[in-house]
Chains A and B, each alone.
Chain A
Amino acid sequence: MHIDMSYGSGGKQTTSLINEVFVKHFSNPTLEKMEDSAVLTVKEKIAFTTDSFVVTPMFFKGGDIGKVAVCGTVNDLLMMGANPKYLTTGFIIEEGADLNELERIAASMAMTAKEAGVQIVAGDTKVIEGKGGIYINTSGIGEIEKEGISISSCKEGDVILLSGNLGEHHAAIMSHRMEIENDIKSDCAPLKEIVLNLIAAGIDIHCMRDVTRGGLATVLNEVSSSSACKVVIEEKALPVSPQVEGFCDILGLDPLYMANEGKLIAVVPKADADKALQVMKASKYGENAAIIGKIENGTKVIMATPFGGNRVIDVLYGEGLPRIC
């Protein structure tokens, strides 16, 4: 069955869509009250964020737009040292969208929310003219577990850790779009366990960032610029799977600039670095974690190559596109 404009009318079909798809999958006491606002209980200090998701294709190896919509917002809360508690979600659905696909997306969101320990407590649905696309917004609230984590708090001598292999989400999406057969799966995942384990282990985290659009290169440039420091990374220390490396070689793409949906960097004092690495490696989604570089006095992001050379790592300009030859 396909969604038509009547599903967005606010009438009977809207109610049935909400009840039979969203409430069914997101069920929790707050949502089921169906009040104009969700009434929530939180600790004193909260983190609050929002993000919108427009992935094409909507389903890909390792995930779907619903999973990404939950992971994206949950991970943004975690990066501020917050434990995610509640999400809201807004759907903009183009007429012609497949109802079964929408339900698959809702089920995937519910499963990911469960893993991340958050409840989806409020939502909105709009149906617009179009060709069957689905777009999702999620907003989230998390309770601050550790204060003071900030992109501007990195200090000379700090060490940079990366939680796993680069480029997997981007490579999975591009493989799908280009109909290239391979085993690359999106890394899309909620990073709650890694972050809460680091906090529980008493690591003095100065900065955390999830590595999403623009890739590691963009995140490190943000660190350099916000903390007014030089970032030095070792090329040979960067974890990249052989499949993604091969894919990038063929297409002329660079894993440094490719999007991820389940990776973070953590900047910690040198004294905490080895312990932080052990904690990451022992956490779910952190088994390929590595120490990739350090913070020095100066400016720019510099990569040391295996040949004893170095190069400046700049931000991404425009869209990363495959080359001709």
Chain B
Amino acid sequence: MTLEQVTKELKGYKGRTIKIMEVCGTHTASIFKAGIRSILPEEIRLISGPGCPVCVTPSAYIDKLVDYSLKENYQVLTFGDMMKVRGSKYSLTQAKALGGKINYLYSPLQSLALAKENPQINYIFAAVGFETTAPLYTILLEEMEKENIQNLKLLIAVKTIIPALSYLCEQEEIDGFLCPGHVSVIIGSKVYEPLAEKYGKPFVVTGFEGEHILASVYEIMTQITTGDFKMKNLYTSAVKEEGNEKAFGAVMKYFEPCDAYWRGIGTIPGSGLRLKEEFQKYDAGSEEAFVEETLPKGCSCTDVILGRIQPIECPAFGKRCTPMDALGPCMVSSEGACGIWYKNR
């Protein structure tokens, strides 16, 4: 089928309302960038799921980074998009203005050079993300071991997607999933098969171009229309059935599964990774940074990331909650659903 035919079929869909969740924040950004929502009819609703690592990181974690940044001889290193999210009091951007020592990096490996150049400074690296970023932390840990680096530690908030998908299937009414492209490069496509079978829903692995996403939405629509539910990999150029076994194998040398707290959702059993006992010396107190918490009063981010409401249905949207002064995490991240809706309003 040509792209034009796919678009025409989607535009002509007249069945029941279908809720499709894109789990990955980069998909949300691509959908926005390609104007996909403006092409689809009302009956096909794209929901931004909990796949933006910034949005699901608890405020206690940000607070701990802020505390470290303000301590003498300490410096916090982080990816850029963690800078804007507020903890219970301050974001890292605000902490920096208060004198907090915070640098943002492109790669975790840049922290090695800094630690070696400045032995008098204790560096805390904000290790957030999913299976995509975990292999980078593994390389970092290998180098830290090899070079006996003492002044660099990781504050870890790494999450895994499969337990989260199971949780969403159990708890919420979602008709189909666009599986995360980058994460699938690491974990492969086969891991979604048991989910498709158990929950009777389409799981489609997709890339990030507009045509990839349209083709995947069409695949989900077709599976729902025919009732033939399965995992389908439409991103075969990058995602293998088994994934990148070498990379994920290396991750499991240092890490082990643990329960993880997702901001706005709660604790999902087995959905996180923590350092194994023998590598705890590299941990900057990650467990203390995970405290069950309620979202600020009036914030509906939970309902947004679980697809119960559209961002615009939140009473605070665009009023008490804007990108300049965000109430909840979904408004502040570049890949958060509310922030994207606000900019496209």
Question: Using a CB–CB distance below 8 Å, which chain A residues touch chain B?
Answer: 178-180, 251-252, 254, 303-312, 314, 317-319, 321-325
Contacts and interface: CB of A to CB of B under 8 A. Distances in A.
Sorted nearest first, the 10 A-B pairs with minimum C-beta distance are A309-B35, A321-B80, A317-B323, A322-B80, A305-B35, A178-B106, A314-B343, A324-B79, A309-B38, A311-B35
Nearest to B132: A325
B80 A311 contact: no
29 contacts: A178-B105, A252-B26, A252-B29, A252-B335, A305-B35, A305-B210, A307-B3, A307-B210, A308-B7, A309-B35, A309-B36, A310-B38, A311-B35, A311-B38, A311-B344, A314-B342, A317-B343, A318-B93, A318-B323, A318-B324, A319-B93, A321-B83, A322-B79, A322-B81, A323-B79, A324-B53, A324-B133, A325-B129, A325-B182
A307 B32 CA distance: 12
A312 to B, nearest CB: 5
Contacts of B128: 324
Q: Of residues A308, A309, A321, A322, which shows the largest number of chain B Cβ atoms within 10 Å of its Cβ?
A: A309
Contacts of A310: 35, 38
Contacts of A325: 25-26, 53, 129-130, 132-133, 182
Interface in B1-54: 3, 7, 25-26, 29, 32-39, 53-54
B233 interface: no
A308 B10 CA distance: 13
Given A251-B106, A308-B7, A322-B81, 7 more contacts: A178-B110, A307-B39, A307-B211, A311-B32, A312-B345, A319-B83, A325-B132
A324 B35 contact: no
Contacts of B38: 309-311
Contacts of B84: 318, 321
Nearest to A322: B80
A221 to B, nearest CB: 11
B81 A323 contact: yes
B82 interface: yes
Contacts of A311: 32-33, 35, 38, 344
A325 B180 CA distance: 11
B214 interface: yes
Contacts of A303: 35
B139 to A, nearest CB: 15
B334 interface: yes
B104 interface: yes
A303 B210 CA distance: 14
Contacts of B335: 252, 323
Contacts of A252: 26, 29, 81, 334-335
Contacts of B7: 307-308
Contacts of B214: 307
Nearest to A311: B35
Contacts of A251: 80, 106
Interface in B81-139: 81-84, 93, 104-106, 110, 128-130, 132-133
A319 B130 CA distance: 24
Nearest to B211: A307
Nearest to B11: A308
B340 to A, nearest CB: 10
Contacts of A306: 34, 210
A314 B133 CA distance: 30
Contact of B106 (A180, A305, A307): A180
B323 A324 contact: no
Contacts of A179: 106, 110
Contact of B34 (A305, A319, A321, A322): A305
Contacts of B324: 317-318
A307 B53 contact: no
Contacts of B130: 325
Contacts of B34: 305-307, 309
B32 to A, nearest CB: 6
Most B C-beta atoms less than 10 A away, residue of A180, A252, A312, A323: A323
Contacts of B345: 312
B82 A324 contact: yes
B80 A307 contact: no
A319 B334 CA distance: 11
A310 B35 CA distance: 5
Nearest to B126: A324
A311 B342 CA distance: 12
A73 to B, nearest CB: 29
Contacts of B54: 324
A62 B211 CA distance: 36
A311 B84 CA distance: 24
Nearest to B32: A311
A57 to B, nearest CB: 15
A322 B81 CA distance: 6
Contacts of A319: 83, 93
A310 B39 CA distance: 8
B37 A323 contact: no
Nearest to B80: A321
